Structure 1
């Protein structure tokens, strides 16, 4: 995750590795389940810095992936069999993210987002 490294988090740190997994799962879901012919998806990363006023509030990364298909709201569904290659993406998101959810993206789309704590703050 070049962007987090550019913002000062260690490229080989756990925060960057976790963020990469979350981005991969949310983007894969947008491609597989949210695709509309001729349209792409939108990825955004937003960091809410740690606050000095409340030292217990750490920095948070919000990963949001928007697609053009609003009718299919994602829900975690476990794979039917241990050998299934699909059906674990949102369970991974649910496990790694502090919070996640969906919201409408008018006129006819949705955004799936996940938030994670950026432990240790930026390296800079």
Structure 2
């Protein structure tokens, strides 16, 4: 992110960092299949946006946003993703079994 002009501590950097952590955690927690891999990609898009993609091998387990109960430790990650991303969604994993969960973050580079 820093090499792309989105410096540590800026809203864009922090949003991409949190979204990446949440999607990666979900892939490991809910999408892991023994002997199969997961994949993480960050890319720049037109208009200063950053795209986060996390792929796993569990195509039948699609993510869903839900309000976690007050006593639950988890279940809020996708709510954070939805709040921080311009858009997010899922797609079949290209070239392998599973799915890709993606999010697009507005991330204009810092000037100066």
Instruction: Provide TM-score, normalisation by structure 2.
Output: 0.91
Q: Which SS does the other structure have where 1:15 is aligned?
A: helix
2:61 to 46, 52, 72: 72
Aligned 1:95-110 pairs, distance under 5 A:
95-105=83-93, 106-110=95-99
| Residue segments in structure 2 that go unaligned for 5+ positions in a row | none
Moved beyond 4 Å, runs of 4+? none
Partner of 2:61: helix, strand, or coil? coil
TM-score, normalising length: structure 1: 0.82
Q: In the alignment, what sits opposite 1:19?
A: 16
* 1:63 and 2:52 aligned: yes
Unpaired runs of 5+ residues, structure 1, are: 51-58
Match of 1:8 in 2: 5
1:122, distance to aligned residue in structure 2 (A): 4.3
Q: CA RMSD in A?
A: 1.5
